[in-house]
Structure 1
Amino acid sequence: MLKVKQKTLSMTTRDNIRLDADVYYPDSLDSFPILLMRQPYGRKIASTVVYAHPIWYASQGYIVVIQDVRGRGTSQGKFTLFSHEIEDGVDSINWVSEFPNSTGEVGMYGFSYQGMTQLYAASASPQALKVLAPAMIAYNLYHDWAYENGAFCLQANLGWAIQLAAETAKLKGDTIAFQKLYEASRNLPLFDAIPANPSILQELAPDSFYHDWLNHPYYDDYWANLSPKNLLKKIDLPMLHIGGWFDPYLRGTINLYQEMKTRSQFPQPLIIGPWAHLPWSRKVGSIDYTQEAISPIDKIQIEWFNYFLKGKEREFLNQPSICLFEMGSNHWKFFDLFPKNKPISYYLFSEGLASIREDDGKLVHSPESLPITDTIVHDPWRPIPSLGGHPSIPSGSFERSTIDSRSDILTYTSDPLTEDLTIIGEVLVEAYCTADAPSFDLCAVLSTVDQQGKVYNFTQGYIRVNSQELPIKIPLQATCMRISQDYCIRLSLSGSCFPAYPVNTGTGKSPKDEVLIDAKIITLMINSGGEKASRLNFFTI
């Protein structure tokens, strides 16, 4: 490992805005490639919540640049979410490529916002940019980040908006606003008259992106203009795609990977660990995935950048391109493609008491001939609490038998498995469900049930329904889960998952207009058995 020095440098954008960066570089006269991270949280953090410190990366023989984006940290200008990241990204790449003692070739790394800045910069094809490592990103900003199947991702979006607003107040020296926002971040304001549009953001952050996201509840030009999907159509670069089974943006990571895999001339490896958005550790929620789950990403990224920026051979590229952590067995598995050759369906069946008795609702391999309707009543006064999964804070797997015992949740449980079963990739629920309101929500949670009756979720999905087209298709988060023999599979269905998503008032209004006092009691009816039996679909290996 090389000895590392550090200094702070500034550049000027094409419109004369100063951007500041910390530069970590080897104490050597040799020339080195550059690794660039552009982020909005104060450059000293440098994404160390999931990555090794830049000093470590620099010690591997790189000039590492951690830059405050426009209007964040000590950089000048006004911060507007994602709006300047193409031009500023290109200007930054051109700037660092001319550093003394650099090879002039640039790689970028980072997750979340720092992953998005990679994609925006790459969309303009800067000549010096050679390789990326985007982690936990949105390919389509609407579908992969802000909304899930038409439902606003309330807890994640609101928490993030308050965090960024507090940073803005801090930069302005507004002590009162910062303190109010800081307190709100520790106890999210979820109970205003319009729950999804709290007064604190209207008052203290009127220019927050959050208002734009609420004001565009359907995919339109606003989303199209900001989405990497529409910016990267002609871009081809090697990308190391990194995701987590409990990351709320996993669908974006997978969608970008699948698009690049189909048309790229370069390697496009995909790694998905049993991680939440952060941290990337062995324990997520209540489950310890063992030492196998400790993040290997720092060492893999160095091998990745060594191959493309230094011409060194890389063992990782000789393996199949998909590397998935199989929860349950707690081992990494390698595939050339997501397996889709062994589809399995479980059909829902009950005697009409699936909301009352946990031994009534069943998952069966073929539909029963007798059609039955299971009924639950969604009461907005006492919505189903969100617990773990990918949309909640904290994320992960938790014991949820107490929640499943509620009478406003339908549970369907399989017989004990006669052999181990791996569920991998896409999971889909097709629900023949109707309601007595013009709009309603459906939440689907898939769990294991052990011999002691403990229930642990491992994937879930959510949808806002504004039409009566049947069946209602609920995509669950992609997964890779090995379920042991003698365990059962359970599907839980409900009409809410709060505060991960806003409670549907049943009025058909968008979240920005849903007034709490107007929330209706909604009766949901789900078919089990007969020709229109609802079912659970997944793939196995």
Structure 2
Amino acid sequence: MPVRPRETVSMFTRDGIQLDADVYRPQGEGSYPVLLMRQPYGRAIASTVVYAHPRWYAAQGYIVVIQDVRGRGTSKGSFYPFRHEVEDGFDAVNWAAALPGSNGVVGMYGFSYQGMTQLYAASTRPSALKAICPAMLPYDLYADAAYPGGAFAFYNNLSWALQLETEGARLRGDANAYQALLKAARNLPLYDPIPLKPGVLQQYAPQSYYFDWLEHSEPDEYWRKLSPRLEVVDLPMLHIAGWFDSYLSGSLRLYKEMSARSQNPQYLIIGPWIHLPWGRKVGALDFGPEAVSPIDRLQVRWFDQFLKGKDTGILQEPPVRLFEMGSNRWRGFDAWPTPEPKAFYLHSTGLAALSEAEGSLRPEPSPTQQSDTFVHDPWRPVPALGGHLVQPAGPQERSALDCRTDVLTYTTPPLQAELVLVGDIAVEVYAEADSPSFDLCAVLSVVRPDGQVYNFSQGYCRLRDPQPGTPILIPCQPTCIRIPCGHALRLSLSAACFPAYPVNTGTGMREERLIEARILTITLHSGGETSSRLHLPMA
């Protein structure tokens, strides 16, 4: 249906702060449900990096409201990520429900920060809010955004802080700060004396939330107060995620929590996508026409079902829809798959760091202990390549990286039958180092017959004074993948993934300085009583 010209309207929060929004209305007479998005990046963008423009949604029979959160865009007040979104979200939902032409029913959509604003608003249980579509979000801000695996997500967090602070400088008209922060955002300052505290942020944004995130390096009260609390919330939710998204753990954490207790439908869809965009070409691979985002039409069906009361047929479809990489098709499930994990054990000649032929993955453990020793040099840390926490993200060809002598590789023989993995993955290893602290990065890849290697899952952990002989568990990104006959599965282990995570200096100190970084010697054990293994969700 035709859509009226965009109009800009304002509301006032309970403490008198003006929040501005763009409103898109259908041309026709009558009343309509409202779709609300609350975001911090300038409302004209309206998350069109992944979604259809708000005019398209309005043409489907909705009043669409795209609002600048407090202190962003043209909204007044001071911005601190997530801090004001509970009260402001509640006020915004009630205001949107009372707009002229509204029928009093509200739904919310959006990804990343815009996904989180849905949860904060929902936590207050405004009566007008009937359904939401949270996408790609860090539900637990500590574990899913700031410190996944106990290590600071350096690249993501620094990039985001510089983006927010650059825009903050522009909004307050500080040209010097804007230029300095913009330059840093386009060429990340990764090598300052204290890498996690770049001088440009200390000089031009000393009050940034970023320094609070650094200060609270453990899951303390700060994070408990900042993360959304949904214990008493029960709404229909369409959960949207991507296999290579940086916040896949958060989306799944939310889905699993809600599906375990909710009386309302909880649907989950996971595509092969990175954080943005959501298309068929992800990283270095083309996942085919079925990987083109179906999300816009799916969201309209969801909202038609729960805001308009239409029978769209969506409730007769499987509630879990996963894109299977390899076959490049969608598969439906009645619930999140939880197959009994199958162990693949690490075997080695002791030279798994020197040649891909020296380490193997087998379904049975070795009766005798074997060890692989490698050296982590902070001067040349193993670089991040693809995955979910750096750009360019997604699957990348990493055969050259696996040839490094500070990367251990363990590979199955060419598969005699196709291997289907659906669900959660974990790596369990026995390792030790000559320092109080060290990191371990695990990457799972498919090895093609021509020798090309493409990653599909990754995990990371930071260890401080680990007890010798105690297994180390590295949770990895869940997956849904079909590996063909003749291909092989590989596990690569290293002590760095820079700059996705900062280089571990090995000192065990909270504030790590580059000048203090040590060369680390790390030994990984397999076989016997120290049977390091890979836990796979074989379907």
TMscore range, shorter length: over 0.9
Q: Secondary structure at the match of 2:537?
A: strand
User: What is the CA distance between 1:370 and its match in structure 2?
Assistant: 2.1
User: Cα deviation per residue 1:315-350 (whole Å; 9 max; x = unaligned)?
Assistant: 222111110000111000111122223421110011
Aligned partners of 1:367 and 1:531 also within 8 Å: no
Match of 1:353 in 2: 351
Question: How far, CA to CA, are the matches of 1:24 and 1:220 in structure 2?
Answer: 41
The one-letter code sitting in structure 2 at the alignment partner of 1:423 is L
The one-letter code sitting in structure 2 at the alignment partner of 1:123 is S
The one-letter code sitting in structure 2 at the alignment partner of 1:346 is F
Question: How far, CA to CA, are the matches of 1:210 and 1:65 in structure 2?
Answer: 29
The one-letter code sitting in structure 2 at the alignment partner of 1:223 is W
Q: Secondary structure at the match of 1:496?
A: coil
Question: How far, CA to CA, are the matches of 1:339 and 1:295 in structure 2?
Answer: 22
Match of 2:138 in 1: 138
Aligned partners of 1:2 and 1:59 also within 8 Å: yes
Question: Bigger CA drift: 88-97 or 152-161?
Answer: 88-97
Give the one of 395, 398, 407 matched to 1:397.
395
User: What is the CA distance between 1:3 and its match in structure 2?
Assistant: 3.1
Question: How far, CA to CA, are the matches of 2:4 and 2:455 in structure 1?
Answer: 44
Question: How far, CA to CA, are the matches of 1:209 and 1:483 in structure 2?
Answer: 43
Match of 2:54 in 1: 54
User: Cα deviation per residue 1:113-162 (whole Å; 9 max; x = unaligned)?
Assistant: 00000100111111111111000112211001111110100000000000
User: What is the CA distance between 1:5 and its match in structure 2?
Assistant: 2.9
Match of 2:84 in 1: 84
Give the one of 519, 522, 532 matched to 1:521.
519
What percentage of residue pairs aligned between the two structures are identical? 58
Question: Bigger CA drift: 252-261 or 363-372?
Answer: 363-372
Q: Please state if 1:412 is matched with 2:422.
A: no
The 5 Å alignment of 1:224-243 reads 224-228=224-228, 231-243=229-241
The one-letter code sitting in structure 2 at the alignment partner of 1:430 is E
Q: Secondary structure at the match of 2:5?
A: strand
Match of 1:473 in 2: 473
The one-letter code sitting in structure 1 at the alignment partner of 2:11 is M
Aligned partners of 1:5 and 1:27 also within 8 Å: no
User: What is the CA distance between 1:227 and its match in structure 2?
Assistant: 1.3
The 5 Å alignment of 1:85-484 reads 85-228=85-228, 231-469=229-467, 470-484=470-484
Question: How far, CA to CA, are the matches of 2:422 and 2:208 in structure 1?
Answer: 38
The one-letter code sitting in structure 1 at the alignment partner of 2:507 is T
Question: Bigger CA drift: 335-344 or 470-479?
Answer: 335-344
Q: Secondary structure at the match of 1:96?
A: helix
User: What is the CA distance between 1:414 and its match in structure 2?
Assistant: 0.3
User: Cα deviation per residue 1:135-192 (whole Å; 9 max; x = unaligned)?
Assistant: 0112211001111110100000000000000000000111111111111111100000
Question: Bigger CA drift: 30-39 or 531-540?
Answer: 531-540
User: What is the CA distance between 1:9 and its match in structure 2?
Assistant: 0.3
Q: Secondary structure at the match of 1:214?
A: helix
Match of 2:505 in 1: 505
Aligned partners of 2:339 and 2:423 also within 8 Å: no
Q: Secondary structure at the match of 1:276?
A: coil
Match of 2:34 in 1: 34
The one-letter code sitting in structure 1 at the alignment partner of 2:361 is L
Question: Bigger CA drift: 344-353 or 465-474?
Answer: 465-474
Question: How far, CA to CA, are the matches of 2:168 and 2:314 in structure 1?
Answer: 41
Question: How far, CA to CA, are the matches of 1:22 and 1:247 in structure 2?
Answer: 28
Question: How far, CA to CA, are the matches of 1:332 and 1:537 in structure 2?
Answer: 24
The one-letter code sitting in structure 2 at the alignment partner of 1:379 is D
Aligned partners of 1:459 and 1:478 also within 8 Å: yes
Structure 1 vs Structure 2 CA RMSD: 0.9
Question: How far, CA to CA, are the matches of 2:278 and 2:402 in structure 1?
Answer: 28
The one-letter code sitting in structure 1 at the alignment partner of 2:526 is S
User: Cα deviation per residue 1:498-524 (whole Å; 9 max; x = unaligned)?
Assistant: 0000000001122xx100000011111
User: What is the CA distance between 1:399 and its match in structure 2?
Assistant: 0.4
Aligned partners of 2:444 and 2:455 also within 8 Å: yes
TM-score, structure 1 length as denominator? 0.98
Q: Secondary structure at the match of 1:325?
A: strand
Question: How far, CA to CA, are the matches of 1:337 and 1:33 in structure 2?
Answer: 30
Q: Secondary structure at the match of 2:414?
A: coil
The one-letter code sitting in structure 1 at the alignment partner of 2:397 is E
Question: How far, CA to CA, are the matches of 2:62 and 2:232 in structure 1?
Answer: 29
User: Cα deviation per residue 1:409-428 (whole Å; 9 max; x = unaligned)?
Assistant: 00000011111111111101
Question: How far, CA to CA, are the matches of 2:250 and 2:374 in structure 1?
Answer: 32
Question: How far, CA to CA, are the matches of 2:389 and 2:322 in structure 1?
Answer: 20
Q: From the superposition, tell whether residues 4 and 540 of structure 1 become closer, same or farther in structure 2 (CA, over 3 Å).
A: farther
User: What is the CA distance between 1:355 and its match in structure 2?
Assistant: 0.2
User: Cα deviation per residue 1:20-75 (whole Å; 9 max; x = unaligned)?
Assistant: 00000011211100000000000000000000000000000000000000000000
The one-letter code sitting in structure 2 at the alignment partner of 1:502 is P
Q: Secondary structure at the match of 1:4?
A: coil
Please list every run of 5 or more consecutive structure 2 residues that lacks an aligned counterpart in the other structure. none
Question: How far, CA to CA, are the matches of 2:315 and 2:538 in structure 1?
Answer: 25
Aligned partners of 2:3 and 2:24 also within 8 Å: no
Question: How far, CA to CA, are the matches of 2:339 and 2:495 in structure 1?
Answer: 32
Q: Secondary structure at the match of 2:138?
A: coil
